[in-house]
Amino acid sequence: MNEQNNEIHFVVDSESVDNVGDADELDHELRYESVEPLDIEPSGNSSQEAFEATITAKPLMLIQRSHQHSKILPQVYNEIASKYSDYIDYGAVVPMPRMSPKQIKAYFNSIPDVSLKIADPESFARMDSFGKTLRDQRDDQPYVGPSTISNWDYLTKPLPNGPTKSWVSEVVSNQYESGATLILSPGLWLDPANSTGSLDSVREQAEWCREAVQDSDLFAVNLTLPSAWLSNPILLEKLLNVLLDLDESTFYIRVRWPLLANPYGQLLDTSILSGYIELASVLDENDKVLITANTGLTGWLLLGRGAHGLSTGLGTGERSFADTRVIKIKQKGPRPAPTPRVFESPLLHVIDKNTSDRIHALGNTGTCGCVFCTHQSSSTTAPFSKPNAGAHYLLETARLTAEVASADNRLDAVKSLVDDAVSLRLAVAKNVPLTGTNDPKHLSVWKNLLV
């Protein structure tokens, strides 16, 4: 536990303070997980499967392995496979530097039926990339903890003259050795203050990555961007010019969002959202595949505008890649109890459990019958299960993705589901006002963007 003068430090990615109970304690987050990895060899590369999974017309849902509660993910994949695999492709992502090689292999082996596996190099965490800012936003605690960083030389190796071909090759090798089936380029931070230099480096790294991947294996150009690249028209134009000019056709793009309004919230900045929409539609028009990393439901929205895939996860850190801050609380007693929260899919929003129960009591929405919710409700005395709530969210996101995928027109399908959510919000408002963190503020923003 991170204690300074009896303070507990929590890292959060929203302005609201009432998600402290949900947040990871900084010290705990950095601790090497005690789960013993399974002693099984990786299942090997399945590049053909990965290739098929990425370029089919089906949208792609990637699940980022979370720091906590990830043991439930194999069951989530099984549920998605049995219910929605006719409509969507799905895959797994691990944050390579924040796990040990053994942990990654054990995790990938626990999901043998998931063919698309990504070991995200997260090179932006290098201290000469975005790592220092990440550390500053986390009260001087690094994004990659000391227990795992020693496994990954590419994160600490000095690059005095910028990325090199051998360094990119090392990043690629590490992914192969981890059992990845879709390789990513390093994904360094793109500095908008040096836009031309950053984009030239993207080209160079993509070229080196293409040379390093085996034979015709598919790889995705991996970009980590400050949001200015989407909100500033000049930067967006430069970015799109390069993305269309590259020979590669698959892009895995992670954008740093500003601090969110709500825990588990969505991006509300219309200039960034408009940039996302332009990015998604331009790439789609030109036969290029966009996977928006760490976007959660915002990524789902973008499926209606041409994005091919999204990534999300159990925790807030997987559902977005947003600025963080640290909340310090004097330790007078035990850690604050987490607020039980559930994903209310008809509202396209995460709300607290009590409010969810009150909405269901009105009869406007049915009770979720998924295996995770059934388990959650099977005992009135058992404590609220965060893993089950997270798994329900993932399964529902898969269902929403499948619903969009099965429609004749994806944009119309997204619009229809957003309209339904807006209507539901109005219908329940008289009896169950949705305020504070329960307020799905993003719905009105989305509705305007979908016009």
Partner 1 sequence: MEQKFEKAAIAAALEDDSVEYLGTGTFGESWLSHGRAIKIIHNPNQRLDRLQREIDSHQRIDHSNVVKLFLARSIEISGNRHAALEFEYIDGDSVRSTIAEGRPDAATLREFARGIISGLNALHDAKLIHRDVKPENIALRGGNLTDPVILDLGTAKLLDMDSITQYPTIIGTTMYMAPEQLRSERALKASDLWSAGVVIYELATGHHPFFTDGAKITLNEALELLSRDFYMPESLPIDLATLIRKLLSVPAYQRGTGNKALRIIGKGTVK
Q: Which residues, including other chains, have CB under 8 Å from residue 384's CB and lie 6 or more apart?
A: 338, 340, 353, 376
State the Cα–Cα distance between residues 7 and 9, nearest whole angstrom. Answer: 6
Closest to partner 1 by CB, 114 vs 242, is: 242
Closer residue to partner 1 in complex, CB, 146/197: 197
Residue 83 CB burial class (10 angstroms; 0-12, 13-18, ≥19): middle
- C-alpha to C-alpha distance for 400 and 413, rounded to whole angstroms: 10
CB of 282 to partner 1, least distance (A): 6
Nearer to partner 1 (CB atom), residue 241 or residue 354: 241
Provide, rounded to whole angstroms, the least separation between the CB of residue 322 and partner 1: 27
Please identify, using beta-carbon distances, which residue of 215 and 247 lies nearer to partner 1: 247
What is the rounded CA–CA span in Å between residue 50 and residue 430?
49
Alpha helices per DSSP H over 43-145: 47-55, 73-84, 101-110, 131-136
Minimum distance between the CB of residue 275 and partner 1, rounded to whole angstroms? 13
Task: Please report, as a single letter, which amino acid is at residue 21.
Answer: G
- Specify the residue, 286 or 444, whose C-beta has the smaller distance to partner 1: 286
Give the closest residue to 438 by CA, choosing from 332, 330, 327, 359: 359
The nearest distance, CB 56 to partner 1, in angstroms, is 11
CB of residue 88 to partner 1, shortest distance in Å: 17
Q: How far is the CB of 195 from partner 1 (least distance, A)?
A: 11
When the beta carbons of 373 and 405 are compared against partner 1, the nearer one is 405
Nearer to partner 1, 150 or 241 (CB): 241
Residue 257: strand pairing partners: 322
Q: Using CB under 8 A as the criterion, which residues of the chain lie in contact with partner 1 when the complex forms?
A: 57, 237, 240-241, 243-245, 247, 282, 285-287
Q: Provide the minimum distance between the beta carbon of 412 and partner 1 in the complex, in angstroms, as a whole number.
A: 20
Pairing mode, if any, of strands 89-95 and 60-64? parallel
Going by C-alpha positions, the residue among 97, 59, 106, 281 that lies closest to residue 184 is: 97
Q: Considering beta carbons, is residue 140 or 408 the nearer one to partner 1? A: 408
Structure tokens at 346: 């008809």
Least Å from the CB of residue 241 to partner 1: 4
The Cα–Cα gap between 314 and 34 comes to 19
Cα torsion 132, 135, 140, 145 to 10°: value is -110
